[in-house]
Amino acid sequence: MTPTRLNQFVEQIMKIEAGYAGMGGASSGIVGAFGSGTQMINSLRSNTIAFATAYVQPGKDRKQLTELSEQVEGSLYSIKLINGISDTKFEALVTELHTLLDTATTK
Which pTM was predicted? 0.82
Please check whether residue 49 lies inside any domain of the structure.
yes
Please check whether residue 7 lies inside any domain of the structure.
no
pLDDT the model gives residue 2: 40
Please check whether residue 54 lies inside any domain of the structure.
yes
Please check whether residue 11 lies inside any domain of the structure.
no
Please check whether residue 23 lies inside any domain of the structure.
no
Please check whether residue 9 lies inside any domain of the structure.
no
Domain count within the chain: 1
Q: State how far the Cα of 58 lies from the Cα of 91, in Å rounded to an integer.
A: 29
Q: State how far the Cα of 83 lies from the Cα of 88, in Å rounded to an integer.
A: 12
Longest C-alpha distance within the chain, in Å? 51
Burial class (CB in 10 A: 0-12, 13-18, 19+), 44: buried
Backbone φ/ψ region at 93: left (φ over 0), alpha (ψ -120 to 50), beta: alpha
pLDDT tens, position by position, for the chain (107 residues)? 345 999 999 999 999 987 654 444 454 455 555 566 889 999 999 999 999 999 998 888 899 999 999 999 999 999 999 888 999 999 999 999 999 999 887 75
pLDDT the model gives residue 80: 93
- Dihedral angle computed from the Cα positions of residues 44, 91, 83 and 49, in that order, rounded to the nearest 10 degrees: 10
Please check whether residue 28 lies inside any domain of the structure.
no
Please check whether residue 86 lies inside any domain of the structure.
yes
Domain range spanning residue 61? 35-107
Q: State how far the Cα of 72 lies from the Cα of 46, in Å rounded to an integer.
A: 9
